[in-house]
Each structure stands twice: as C-alpha cells, then as structure tokens.
Amino acid sequence: MAQQNIYDNNDFFNNFMDIREDNLNFNDIIETPIILSMMPDLKGKRILDLGCGMGQHAKQYVRMGASYVLGIDISEKMLSFARENNSAENIEYRRLPFERIEEINKKFDVVTSSLAFDYVEDFYMLIKRIHNLLNEGGTLVFSMSHPLSTAYDGTYDRYTRLENGERIYANLRNYNKEGIRKIKWVVDDYELYHRKISTLINSMVKSGFNIEECQESKVPEDISKKYPERFGGVMHQPDFIFFRCKKQSSKRFREV
C-alpha cells in the first residue's frame, strides 16, 4: 500500500506548525472539542492513538485517566515534537505506519485517531486491523476530513461567493469518484484519499463494529460570526466527520 510521509518534509512541517500555532486553528477550535466529547470514560483504559502527531491528544488522554497510551506515527519530526513536549511515563511513542499496525502485539480498550485517516489508501483493511487490536467491547473513536470536503480535486472554487466575499454555496464535483486527490494545501502537491460516506460506514459495519455516534464539524455561532472569513464555510460544508463505534464480534479477520 502507498504511504505518504509529507510531515517529514521541512517546508510542509514548518508551515503546518505555523498553522497549528495560530490560536484559531481548526484542530483546537473544531476537532478537539468534538472528539473529546465523544470519548468513553478513559479511566484505567489502554489507548492506541493512530497518527498521534505532536502528541497533544495522547497527553490529554492521560489527563483523562488513561493507564497507558501508545501513539504511533510515520513522521519522525512529529514524534520528536511529541517526545519533547508531550511525554509522560505511561505514554509511549513509536514510529510505525498504520499500514503495519498488525505488528503491535498488544490489545487496547480504545483506539483513536484525529485527522490522520485521510492518508490511508485501504480504509477497510485499516478498520479490520483496528478491530483485531481491540479488546472485546472496545471502542474506536476517530475524526477525519469529511467526504464532502475530500471530494474536492483542486480544479474549481470550493465556494461560490458574493462580490463582498461572503460564501453562499459550497461546490461539489465528482463525489462518487473515490481515490487519490492531489491538491494545494500547505504545499502544492498535497495528497489525500477521498471516500464516500457509505464506504466509511460499510467498512465499520463489515469489520464487526456497531456505530454508536457520528458528528460533523460545527463551530460555535459566536466564533463563526466573529471570524467569517475563517469559519464562514463550515455552515455550508463540514470539514471533518467523527465516528464512535464499538467492537461487536470476537471473530478474527484473516488477511486475504
């Protein structure tokens, strides 16, 4: 399976860090409050954080009572940041791509991932492998870019705007055409995978998960009114989608 490690590219990493240091970044304003609200009780739980990046979520899960967190990521730069800034004695950071998580010889109560599954080519295979790593009754909670957003292929304007710049429609093309998208984001040739909502749902259901909750990104009204240029699009098109699902079956899936 193809793997991309753009976070170890110097330009990308530096630009990404600038975005994250901005107080109004989408991760802190939109993603983190929603995913934390969807977490089960983490007290005494063993957590696996896939694509842990800078480790701030791992640290938060320890604050919420997790007994152990394993954060994995493909990027050495992200992991170095995590080790320097978000360490704890019960957090372990390991360099490993999602495509090889079957090598982890541990079981977890909760597997989570924030905005990292956009980079996985074979989503169904990933979800099946996560199912195998969970204890019976364990929970998967994740966020990723919303399919209405990942459909964008860079060849048209994302929004139709009034002359004053106000966004009045989100534009959509080729939603039904799944696969890789190369767009300009942080760098010119950023790559991610677009999948339909039905593909996400069916991958969880076929793997033996029971979907308990789905959320789509939203912004508190006072914030979107105060910063219309930054958050004005969220009303028309959610940037992120979130799922919480529970492992239902002990059946082990064999690789084909």
Ligand X SMILES: C[S@@+](CC[C@H](N)C(=O)[O-])C[C@H]1O[C@@H](n2cnc3c(N)ncnc32)[C@H](O)[C@@H]1O
In the region spanning residues 107 to 166, those forming contacts with ligand X, defined by CB under 6 A, are 114-116, 119
Which strand (E) or helix (H) includes residue 113?
strand 108-114
**Nearer to ligand X among residue 81 and residue 167 (C-beta):** 81
**Nearer to ligand X among residue 5 and residue 248 (C-beta):** 5
Phi, psi of 127 (to 5 degrees): -65, -40
**Nearer to ligand X among residue 71 and residue 208 (C-beta):** 71
Residue number of the CB atom closest to ligand X: 53
How many residues sit in the footprint of ligand X (CB under 6 A)?
A: 20
Distance CA(159)–CA(129), nearest Å, equals: 37
For residues 229 and 165, the answer to whether their CB atoms sit within 8 Å is yes
Question: Which of 12, 26, 27, 128 touches ligand X (CB under 6 A)?
Answer: 27
| Helices 197-207, 123-133: crossing angle, 10 deg rounding | 30
User: Cβ neighbours of residue 185 under 8 Å, at least 6 residues apart?
Assistant: none
Give the nearest distance from C-beta 248 to ligand X in angstroms.
26
Q: Enumerate the H helices of 134-187 as residue ranges.
A: 147-150
Give the nearest distance from C-beta 7 to ligand X in angstroms.
4
Between the CA atoms of 119, 239, 176 and 156, what dihedral angle is there, to the nearest 10 degrees? -100
Rg (CA), the chain: 18
**Nearer to ligand X among residue 100 and residue 107 (C-beta):** 100
Cβ-based neighbour number of residue 179 at 10 Å: 10
Q: Is 99 exposed, middle or buried (0-12, 13-18, 19+ CB in 10 A)?
A: middle
Q: Is 74 in the site for ligand X (CB under 6 A)?
A: yes
Give the nearest distance from C-beta 225 to ligand X in angstroms.
26
Range in contact with ligand X (rule: CB under 6 A) among 74-82, 126-134, 144-152, 183-191: 74-82
Give the nearest distance from C-beta 23 to ligand X in angstroms.
15
Question: Which of 29, 51, 68, 152 touches ligand X (CB under 6 A)?
Answer: 51
Could you give the string, one character per residue 7-26, with x where binding to ligand X holds by CB under 6 A and - elsewhere? x-------------------
- The two three-digit tokens of residue 40, written as one number: 């089960």
Give the nearest distance from C-beta 16 to ligand X in angstroms.
8
**Contacts to ligand X by CB under 6 A:** 3-4, 7, 27, 51-54, 57, 73-75, 78, 97-99, 114-116, 119
